[in-house]
Amino acid sequence: MSDQTNILRLVADRLRVARRVVVVTGAGVSAESGLRTFRGATAADMPKDMQALWREFDPMKLATPEAFDANPEMVTRWYDWRRLGCLAAEPNPGHTALAAMERHIASRGGDFALFTQNVDRLHHRAGSQRVFELHGSIIEWRCVQTGETFEPEPTPFERFPPPSPFHPGALLRPNVVWFGEALPESVLLAAFDLAPKADLFFTIGTSSVVYPAAGFVEMAAREGAFTVEVNKDDTAATTRVDAVLRGPSGEILPRLIELAFEV
């Protein structure tokens, strides 16, 4: 039996008896749905439109409040392009396996929470119930004046920057969290509450470089959780976890569910 199979069995054994499971996901979980990650190893010969986003685009010119203030038209065009890509994508077997994990844990009275850095809503669409969106949602847009949010039609905006329907003359922005902005308080409080209580903690498809999300694994480990990374490559968390499952989450997670719950 390979080392990886042994580790998978060990993690499955932990999952079978876990009482409190906390999961943090990142862009890698949606990669097999065709959505581009932000960072990470990318083959040099890969077409530009499949490479990690921050290899083609400058995050400081797109994913900061200053960038929006300086050029709202460019920023909203870019986010509208990505919004339509997320709406066109479908959940993959990794998303579905996490929804199944929640159902199994909940059915025996355990506690499950999924914290995602993803803005694509694919966990919800796969059937996950207790999802906390750390970095907001690209599917929702917000009036910069009143703070009201709504889900625009699944078609491109007609004007850029798009005008707010809530306040004359105000603009809309995606309801995501940019660099330098605070995460939603209720979501952050839930993470600070639940991560230290976990007995099993997963970090999945994230490079673990963006804080505060990257710090949750240590909060859990400090209080005694068994920590597991699922990722295609090494990350900033790899040396800090108890077990590493190396490979695509869309393949590893369904196998884990099958082993743990014999489905």
Query: Is 135 a binder of ligand BJW (CB under 6 A)?
Result: yes
Nearest to 142 by CA among 159, 160, 165: 165
Report the distance separating Cα 75 and Cα 64, nearest Å: 9
- Nearer to ligand BJW by Cβ, of 73 and 224: the residue is 73
**Strand partners for 202:** 23, 228
233-262 mask for ligand BJW (x: CB under 6 A)? x-x------------xxx------------
Query: Residue 233 has what DSSP assignment?
Result: S
- Nearer to ligand BJW by Cβ, of 68 and 178: the residue is 178
Give least dist CB 68 to ligand BJW, A. Answer: 11
Give least dist CB 208 to ligand BJW, A. Answer: 6
Phi-psi region of 162 (alpha: psi -120 to 50; beta: other; left: phi over 0): beta
Nearest to 232 by CA among 4, 14, 11: 4
Report the distance separating Cα 201 and Cα 216, nearest Å: 9
Query: Is 231 a binder of ligand BJW (CB under 6 A)?
Result: yes
Query: Is 90 a binder of ligand BJW (CB under 6 A)?
Result: no
Intra-chain end-to-end CA distance of the chain, in Å: 21
Report the distance separating Cα 101 and Cα 246, nearest Å: 19
Find all residues with CB under 8 Å of 12, minimum gap 6, and list them: 256, 259, 260
Among 155, 168, 211, 262, binds ligand BJW (CB under 6 A): 211
Contact 20, 12 (CB under 8 A): no
- Select which of 95, 104, 124, 135 is catalytic: 135
Give least dist CB 25 to ligand BJW, A. Answer: 7
Among 31, 99, 171, 241, binds ligand BJW (CB under 6 A): 31
Query: Is 209 a binder of ligand BJW (CB under 6 A)?
Result: yes
Nearest to 54 by CA among 210, 180, 230, 202: 210
Find all residues with CB under 8 Å of 159, minimum gap 6, and list them: none
Give least dist CB 103 to ligand BJW, A. Answer: 22
Pairing of β 20-25 and β 200-204 = parallel
Among 75, 210, 220, 257, binds ligand BJW (CB under 6 A): 210
Active-site residue flag, 123: no
139-178 mask for ligand BJW (x: CB under 6 A)? -------------------------------------xxx
- Nearer to ligand BJW by Cβ, of 20 and 228: the residue is 228
Task: State phi, psi for 98 to the nearest 5 degrees.
Answer: -70, -35
Query: Is 205 a binder of ligand BJW (CB under 6 A)?
Result: yes
Among 147, 156, 212, 224, binds ligand BJW (CB under 6 A): 212
Binding site for ligand BJW (CB under 6 A): 26-28, 31-32, 37-40, 52, 63, 117, 119, 135, 138, 176-182, 205-207, 209-212, 231-233, 235, 248-250
